[in-house]
């Protein structure tokens, strides 16, 4: 039986259950409102609480929530169908503070008609924030479903947008 090392991180969006394997980050579940054991049992793995094994994930998430990290540099243990993996790779290409539509992602992976399937793969993303599924919106610019809830999605998008530096109007003006 596989081992999964877990710990819980308090964050601005609630408690986050972090889980890693020997290969990398396997899960981020948030907001964690109940005991983690029930959730971990569904993974068909032996769970061991380990702050040491989740330290790198913890450090990078703390940096993200402090506004000091825009890209994650973690080994990932993503498991899914080839379609899901393609969607999750595409999600990682959406820049911090920006959004893309489900249609954008469908076109990017070469399946322009698969917008609903992209949405389903997005919903099943096991490591949101690091694989930034919160950055996906409807083609009309509306916020659509998010496994952790639309309020958290809205807060993550606002958080990132507030930390994107834009040149001031004076700096952007050309000298005369």
Domain check: are 97 and 150 in the same one?
Answer: yes
What CATH number does residue 7 fall under? 3.30.160
pLDDT tens by residue, 112-153: 999 999 999 999 999 999 999 999 999 898 998 898 999 999
Domain check: are 43 and 94 in the same one?
Answer: no
The domain boundary, picked from 65, 92, 109, lies at: 65
Domain check: are 87 and 159 in the same one?
Answer: yes
Domain check: are 138 and 108 in the same one?
Answer: yes
142-165 residues labelled b (16+ CB within 10 A) or e (exposed): eebebbbeeebbeebbebbeeeee
CB 139 within 8 A of CB 101: yes
DSSP 6: E
**pLDDT greater than 80 at residue 154:** yes
Residue 134 lies in a domain: yes
pLDDT for residue 171: 39
Domain check: are 91 and 43 in the same one?
Answer: no
Containing structural domain, residue 57: 3-65
Give me the number of domains the chain comprises: 2
Strand partners, 29: 17
**Among residues 133, 136, 152, 157, which one is catalytic?**
133
Residue 73 lies in a domain: no
Name the nearest CA neighbour of 119 among 137, 142, 99: 137
Domain check: are 91 and 159 in the same one?
Answer: yes
**pLDDT greater than 70 at residue 111:** yes
Q: In this structure, what token pair is assigned to residue 78?
A: 């993503």
**pLDDT greater than 80 at residue 79:** yes
- The average confidence (pLDDT) of the chain is 91
Within the chain, residue ranges assigned H as helices are 36-41, 55-65, 82-91, 102-108, 115-123, 150-163, 169-172
pLDDT for residue 168: 43
Query: Is 166 a residue of the active site?
Result: no
**pLDDT greater than 60 at residue 170:** no
Residue 174 lies in a domain: no
Q: Which residue has the higher pLDDT, 18 or 45?
A: 18
The domain boundary, picked from 32, 65, 98, lies at: 65
């Amino acid at each position: 039986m596989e081992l999964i090392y877990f710990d819980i991180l308090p964050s601005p969006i609630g408690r986050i259950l972090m889980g890693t394997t020997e290969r990398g980050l396997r899960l981020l579940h948030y907001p964690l409102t109940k005991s983690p054991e029930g959730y971990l049992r569904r993974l068909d793995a032996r769970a061991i609480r380990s702050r040491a094994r989740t330290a790198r994930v913890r450090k990078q998430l703390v940096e993200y929530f402090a506004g000091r990290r825009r890209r994650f540099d973690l080994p990932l243990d993503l498991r899914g169908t080839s379609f899901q993996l393609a969607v999750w790779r595409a999600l990682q290409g959406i820049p911090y503070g920006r959004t893309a539509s489900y249609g954008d992602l469908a076109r990017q992976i070469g399946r322009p008609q698969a917008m609903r399937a992209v949405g389903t793969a997005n919903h099943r993303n096991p490591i949101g924030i690091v694989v930034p599924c919160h950055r996906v919106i409807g083609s009309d610019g509306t916020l659509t479903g998010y496994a952790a809830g639309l309020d958290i999605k809205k807060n993550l998008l606002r958080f990132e947008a507030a930390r994107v530096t834009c040149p001031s109007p004076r700096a952007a003006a050309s000298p005369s």
